[in-house]
Amino acid sequence: MSVKVTVVNHPVAAEALTHLRDQNSSNQFFRAEMRRLSLVVIAEALRDVPTTKVRVTTPLAETDGIKISQRPVLVPILRAGLGMLPAAMELLPDADIAVVGVQRDEQTHQPSEYVAKLPSRLDGRHCIVLDPMLATGGSLEYGCKLLAARGAPQPITIACVLAAPEGIAYLEKSGMDLHIVTASIDERLNENAFIVPGLGDAGDRQFGPPH
């Protein structure tokens, strides 16, 4: 079992990430830039999605083309992952959508599930997990294990905006094959398990504080 990490190297992604990091970006602007960055990250995450050859007729001739073999499954980790979902749906309009709600205890930093709406079986279904922040890795491990238990083929793809070295190291011990695609590997986690330099709380900055 192994964890592969791909860091997206693209000026559009770098600019969008800069805007996301800026503490002065409004919630509205933050959401827009999250979508823009997600398009680049998720497109890279789909580079190895299974495809099938097809024939297509243009106005001038027949030629070869491809289609994605089976409907992928998009799995946003609530609530921050919802900000990546519009871009993913734009790239994969035929995809199915499952949701996993995992919240982190602010004292122990351990994940706990509060909702999981998933197909009973995911055999042969390419799953793309959406979560902007790979911090401790606990929530993403929890979500990916739910998918693996339902037969999701591995490696399971994780699309995120930022990753902390500690989170990557944690997932390397998960016993799963995973492919993490991110726009940046940041320096570290602070004492509150937030990514530094990071961009703050991705959920709050997109949707406002929960209280």
Report the catalytic residues. 104, 108, 201, 204
164 three-state secondary structure: coil
Question: How is residue 82 annotated by DSSP?
Answer: G
Q: How far apart are CA 60 and CA 55, in angstroms?
A: 13
Copy the structure tokens of residue 66: 């491809």
In single-letter form, the type of residue at position 123 comes to D
Residue 45, both tokens? 């995450």
CB 164 within 8 A of CB 153: no
Are 12 and 40 contacting, i.e. CB atoms less than 8 angstroms apart?
A: yes
